[in-house]
């Protein structure tokens, strides 16, 4: 079985409005989803979440630079199977961000079973 280990997540942004902002990297699995008329809620676990790590720096601002980085992550994702990653972006208003650049690093792991 071939897996990838997510090791680092980083984003840089430029705000366009004074509005709440949360970004999460989530481990996607085929189970744990809740569906509703308004959309769906992913029930899978967070690998990292901006508002957890930077609770006091959660808002975007007009022409304000923002960044979030996590290193030393160690989450195995079975990309050959039914797993992957989702980047969830939650804003308090439309057009909260002018730009958002994302970087996701992973290393390949070969496991013997």
Q: pLDDT digit string (tens) for 12-36? A: 999 999 999 999 999 888 776 666 6
What φ, ψ does residue 88 adopt, rounded to 5°?
-100, 125
If pLDDT is split at 50, 70 and 90, which confidence band does 1 have? Answer: very low
If pLDDT is split at 50, 70 and 90, which confidence band does 82 have? Answer: confident
Which pLDDT does position 84 carry in this prediction?
Answer: 84
Structural domain of residue 70, as residue ranges?
A: 2-110
If pLDDT is split at 50, 70 and 90, which confidence band does 109 have? Answer: low
The pTM of the full predicted model, rounded to 2 decimals, is 0.80
Per the structure, the count of domains in the chain is: 1
């Amino acid at each position: 079985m071939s897996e990838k280990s997510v090791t680092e997540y980083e984003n840089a942004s430029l705000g366009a409005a004074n509005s709440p902002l949360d970004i999460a990297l989530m481990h996607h699995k085929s189970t744990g989803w809740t569906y509703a008329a308004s959309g769906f809620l992913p029930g899978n676990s967070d690998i990292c979440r901006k508002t957890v790590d930077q609770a006091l720096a959660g808002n975007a601002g007009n022409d304000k630079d923002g960044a979030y980085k996590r290193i030393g992550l160690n989450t195995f994702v079975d990309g050959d199977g039914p797993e992957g990653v989702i980047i969830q972006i939650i804003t308090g208003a439309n057009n909260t961000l002018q730009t958002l650049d994302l970087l996701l690093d992973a290393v390949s792991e070969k496991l013997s079973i």
